Amino acid sequence: MRDIYNPLAPPAVAGIPETGPAESDMPFSYVYDVTLSGGEQLLAQQVPIDNDSDFVLRGIYYSWPTGTNGTFTLRLYDAQNFALSNGPLYNTNYSTDPSAPTVVGPELNYPAGNKLQLDITDVSGFGNTIEIVFIGVKRYRLS
């Protein structure tokens, strides 16, 4: 039988070395809030990564704080600005449940001071107020 582990849990739980001897991980999330008008397309949106540590992205979920149920597309990029998909993905590909977010695997490393970049487009024809949460860890380098 194949071993199965939770990809959102620290890798050490599954017996995988998670950091080097001079690194320490702390759970952390970045939040991106946006209000889109009907049909609005926002390209190259940026979520700045703090300068104090790298950010390792492990999961994502979204919610509509205003309670609307519009449809939108999302396209994510890695730290070198390479798209993670051939095209934008509909919001139905991502979880709305904070206790069961969509897993990003393999995890993505964004260096300190870099940015998490995304394109987001409303395809519902109605306005949307959206909150996207990027779950992961801050990876501190110890001296």
Span 43-56, pLDDT tens digits: 999 999 999 999 99
Record the tokens describing residue 38, joined without a space.
Answer: 């009907």
Q: Where are the domains of the chain?
A: 11-141
The kind and range of the H/E element at 41 are strand 41-48
Q: Give mean pLDDT, residues 130-136.
A: 95
Cβ-Cβ contacts under 8 Å for 20 (sequence gap 6 or more): none
Instruction: Determine the straight-line distance between the first and last CA of the chain, rounded to whole angstroms.
Output: 41
Record the tokens describing residue 138, joined without a space.
Answer: 């801050």
CATH dotted code for 11-141? 2.60.120.380
Quick one: pLDDT at residue 124?
84
Q: Give mean pLDDT, residues 123-141.
A: 90
